[in-house]
Structure 1
């Protein structure tokens, strides 16, 4: 396995830290420690676990400035977004502190008076998590919150690009009183640590946020030991705008959805489907607003769009822009870059493309960057057909003030998360998960704790 991980600032190319990668022996030792710790931690009361989660949340909020600065430096997102993520991170812990107290069992009426039938729930065991670089804090607590609430122990591997946020987050967990073997971190390459997680008899559940191909591989590997899996995978979100929509409002929501974190979110709008009667108006207003966004180092005041995370992501985005232009797309805003390969920073100006056709790569592949392709539609059935014509089904957005159209979209769009006149629907108290190849299971809400529980049935006879 690799000996160390170099963490750089994608806005400047500056080396932030070099941290040791865990050896296979170290990872396996931590897995065993987490398994052993489960025996004791699973016996704690719901109130004890809730208190630990609440204390952890308090420490995150008390240290949100520090956490946000770490996030911005290693991820690139603007500091206000990182501050928002710190609050979002804590919200999952406070929500699941309450859900820990709501893990009810039930009594089932028996067919005879001499029997009693009981159902209880208990934590599944050691949970191994693999988290992405785009939300280096929140994607951890969205998994750790329900796992700990259920009485599970937890080990996490952060993305190689952004481990520093996670390291600090785990330190705060321990400061909150959570035992060190109950919440652990390992660092290294996913291709090396993933098989150690999936192949270990100590791990009873894998939870992953990332690309669909990697998710499929983890599912296959987990089958060997019949582990539970939760997968939050890729997306290709449509953003539908009807002729009766409030265009100015839709533009503000489109900006928030598309350009947050430089378009590097799994639920960001990827395909803008606009009714032919308003496509010109929306395109003009949206392009003007996108061009006005300030691009730069996320630590600088007023910056709204930071860099993309690395050269691999940068090259993919540029390829999609060039492919679209070659096939006839019109650049309405942006389309230009500001990068220096030698220095290692990668900026792409917010880009809006018109005259987009469905054969362009950007309409077929998730972009993960600040590029917005616009196509028009004539009928709502056509919009739904275009929206659903993808193997992904994570998030979709539609803007209309007509309740019949809204219900039509709600019932016919094959996506797990829907925003009706809302470009930012994610919240701790609601389920977050996709259909089709966008994942298995939900995170958040009351649904988010169920994957961390086992159901146990007891039949008592001769009463």
Structure 2
């Protein structure tokens, strides 16, 4: 049975009548299910429904909106094992990684459920007597949410939850390769009693669905996470109507390893950041910038760590699962070939692993390059696979210069026992998320998340209190009594 779009509180087939198969990236012979292959008309219908439902939803008391979010989170918790399995089979994550992501979505719904009751504004002191002066926070209206495949339930959750908490309605386009995971999420909203039209989901190609959701002049905000190439298109489409836009895109995230760093800890931090979720995270560590005094020993230890990682189907919960698609796998292998051609030393990995059943999936070996120069392609461009480039530097100043010497600025970390270096790194690195003695991946849900430079539109942040700002607009009220 093909999974349909969800529009105005109903499950509907697409206008085209066509469907797209979702296949298991660990075993491409397995069809996980089918989703609707929608077009512009379907996307327009989703916007129609969101616009029509918006006034009534905005008038719904915040605590009542929060109760539905809390119920959604509770239903997701009850269905956690089923949703985790769907995520593993669609996206490719290991069971542990997928389970953690589902739990993250549960926590986000419960977090913003509480925030919905606190929505209101601020009271200010007026300079005039007999005047009450205050600021109301109101929803912007109907918003479009466009999400990627690599976190197919956590990213939709951290966009949709604050949107609904603040009284907005949503037209939602998930990634095609993980559409069934999105269906499972929407089912939780439906069963929690969310009124029809408040959340609408349309699956299908970005060229049809995504462009419509970004360019319709009735849309009051567009929140997008994905590649920089697609993000530029979304931004241009939204700009034609001066639509409020939030873009979070890629990263080329560094971990700086200082000469005083504990090497075992450094290897743990880089390996976790580089090879976790198969390197398919916008915050993944793809550059280890290492002081020359400890460079050789670090490379040796990281190489041993990478070579020891068990690769296999995510359902078996190995050390690393497959890449999500043939295109992602091909792109990673092309970057590896480019690294070799440009003169970097391939220490380990670089190919497809051998083993029973691995030929049927999009598996790639954890890969480490040494002798990487900062201007090489593998040190400049986002790979989105389990590949880390180890770059030698002569000192801290050079390390920061190399860390900043890319177009992106999402996440960065430093490993050091020197408090002065730690503070200097925070001050000098160009990144929206900065960590000391921690991996570049992993985010707390109650603090802002977003990048700098080409990693972000730098307009708004996601998550925490700042995650509410994109979905609200201020109204200043002078009440002279």
Q: Tell me if TM exceeds 0.5.
A: yes
Partner of 1:429: 446
Change (3 A) 1:444 1:277: same
Decide whether the 8 Å contact of 1:291 with 1:333 is kept in 2: yes
Decide whether the 8 Å contact of 2:171 with 2:213 is kept in 1: no
Deviation at 1:251, TM superposition (A): 1.5
Equivalent of 2:318 in 303, 307, 324: 303
Change (3 A) 1:433 1:339: farther
Deviation at 1:280, TM superposition (A): 1.4
Change (3 A) 1:29 1:343: farther
Partner of 1:328: 343
* Cα separation, 1, equivalents of 2:64 and 2:242: 30
Secondary structure of 1:274 counterpart: strand
Secondary structure of 2:391 counterpart: strand
Decide whether the 8 Å contact of 1:339 with 1:346 is kept in 2: no
Equivalent of 1:231 in 243, 247, 255: 247
Secondary structure of 2:59 counterpart: coil
Secondary structure of 2:362 counterpart: strand
Secondary structure of 1:161 counterpart: helix
Which stretch has the larger CA shift, 437-446 or 362-371?
Answer: 437-446
* Cα separation, 2, equivalents of 1:346 and 1:193: 27
Deviation at 1:23, TM superposition (A): 3.4
CA RMSD in angstroms, aligned pairs only? 1.8
Partner of 1:455: 474
Partner of 1:364: 380
Which stretch has the larger CA shift, 108-117 or 435-444?
Answer: 108-117
Decide whether the 8 Å contact of 1:240 with 1:398 is kept in 2: yes
Decide whether the 8 Å contact of 2:323 with 2:362 is kept in 1: yes
Deviation at 1:113, TM superposition (A): 2.0
* Cα separation, 2, equivalents of 1:116 and 1:78: 56
Q: TM-score, normalised by structure 1?
A: 0.96
* Cα separation, 2, equivalents of 1:457 and 1:98: 24
Partner of 1:376: 392
Q: CA deviation digits over 1:422-442, x for unaligned, max 9?
A: 114412111110011111321
Q: TM-score, normalised by structure 2?
A: 0.92
Q: CA deviation digits over 1:292-323, x for unaligned, max 9?
A: 111011112x4121111122211221111112
* Cα separation, 2, equivalents of 1:374 and 1:291: 15
* Cα separation, 1, equivalents of 2:119 and 2:259: 46
Secondary structure of 1:358 counterpart: coil
Q: CA deviation digits over 1:61-92, x for unaligned, max 9?
A: 11111111111111111111101111011111
Q: CA deviation digits over 1:323-371, x for unaligned, max 9?
A: 211222222221221499x986221110111111234211110010011
* Cα separation, 1, equivalents of 2:111 and 2:297: 41
Q: CA deviation digits over 1:118-170, x for unaligned, max 9?
A: 21111111111110000100010010111111111112111111101000110
- Please list every run of 5 or more consecutive structure 1 residues that lacks an aligned counterpart in the other structure: none
Decide whether the 8 Å contact of 1:195 with 1:221 is kept in 2: yes
Change (3 A) 1:311 1:339: farther
Partner of 2:145: 129
Is 2:464 the partner of 1:445?
Answer: yes
* Cα separation, 2, equivalents of 1:336 and 1:22: 36
Which stretch has the larger CA shift, 413-422 or 353-362?
Answer: 353-362
Partner of 1:72: 88
* Cα separation, 2, equivalents of 1:111 and 1:330: 68
Secondary structure of 1:77 counterpart: coil
* Cα separation, 2, equivalents of 1:266 and 1:45: 36
Is 2:4 the partner of 1:4?
Answer: no
Deviation at 1:109, TM superposition (A): 2.9
* Cα separation, 1, equivalents of 2:33 and 2:75: 24
Partner of 1:270: 286
Equivalent of 1:33 in 49, 68, 72: 49
Deviation at 1:49, TM superposition (A): 1.4
Partner of 1:243: 259
Partner of 1:288: 304
Is 2:411 the partner of 1:395?
Answer: yes
* Cα separation, 2, equivalents of 1:15 and 1:279: 45
Is 2:257 the partner of 1:257?
Answer: no
* Cα separation, 2, equivalents of 1:321 and 1:194: 31
- Please list every run of 5 or more consecutive structure 2 residues that lacks an aligned counterpart in the other structure: 1-14
Decide whether the 8 Å contact of 2:274 with 2:386 is kept in 1: yes
Structure 1 residues 42-53: aligned runs within 5 Å:
42-53=58-69
Which stretch has the larger CA shift, 22-31 or 39-48?
Answer: 22-31
* Cα separation, 2, equivalents of 1:400 and 1:358: 21
Deviation at 1:443, TM superposition (A): 0.9
Decide whether the 8 Å contact of 1:419 with 1:425 is kept in 2: no
Deviation at 1:420, TM superposition (A): 0.9
Deviation at 1:18, TM superposition (A): 2.3
Equivalent of 1:173 in 165, 171, 189: 189
* Cα separation, 2, equivalents of 1:7 and 1:446: 35
* Cα separation, 1, equivalents of 2:359 and 2:272: 29
